Amino acid sequence: MRNLIYVAFVGCAITAMSFTATAQQLPGYQVKENFTAEYSFKKDYNPFPVYDEKPILFTANAEKRSLVTELCNKVQFKFAQLLDRNVELLTNVTLFGFIDEWWHTRYRYGGTSKAGIDCSAFTGLLLKTVFHIDVPRTARMQYDASEKLSKDEMIEGDLVFFNTRGGVSHVGLYLGGGYFVHSSSSQGVTIDNLDDGYYEKRFISGGRPIVIEETTDIANAG
């Protein structure tokens, strides 16, 4: 029976796949969280989490596996074009699947759902779902709970902070190559570039969430 179980994302990593704009549309998917990703966010930060529980589909059916692979191709192809990047470099299928799931969800101040979501709720949900990291609720609090980074130091999965109306008032998640995803007040969940005039003028810094490891106090145990 072991040979009947196939994880969809393995097929997504194969770069010798054909990509087509007419691929059949499948419903959006979310990633389950069976495996735990390990991060220190200092010396051995890994932007590519290990995940398993809720990928697109687990199936032994060859036709369904083919459609799942096709969907992976579509997501990779879509965001490779948006990010001006080679398809094979989009290895974090979990991340881009999440973005695709929320793509163009409208902005709503204080919102936390598909009916509308604000910038810090979006980054918080993304970090929790994709990277298994909890961060505070607001942009300012996320900034305070992050190690500050220059543009040159940022990697995929870091936060980006902006001053749009005084102080730290907007946050997104960095995707590399100057691009970041965020919930924009004008376009909803979308991707923009740090070199765009509006964001270039308002950029404050990047930020890497500081993860505090839980420890057991043996003296007080029991």
Strand partners, 116: 113
**Is residue 132 annotated as part of the catalytic site, yes or no?**
no
Q: Please identify which of the residues 12, 72, 104, 170 carries the catalytic annotation.
A: 170
Say how far residue 151 (Cα) sits from the centre of its chain. Answer: 18
For 115, counting Cβ atoms within 10 Å of its Cβ (0-12 exposed, 13-18 middle, 19+ buried), the class is: exposed
**Is residue 12 annotated as part of the catalytic site, yes or no?**
no
H-helix segments, 33-118: 62-82, 93-102
**Is residue 119 annotated as part of the catalytic site, yes or no?**
yes
Q: Please identify which of the residues 12, 72, 119, 132 carries the catalytic annotation.
A: 119
The contacts of residue 116 (CB under 8 Å, 6+ apart) are 105, 106, 107, 108
Q: Is 160 helix (H, G, I), strand (E, B) or coil?
A: strand
Strand partners, 209: 146
* Direct distance between the N- and C-terminal alpha carbons of the chain, in angstroms, rounded to an integer: 44
Quote the CA–CA distance of 165 and 167 in Å, as a whole number: 7
Point out the residues that are catalytic.
119, 170, 182
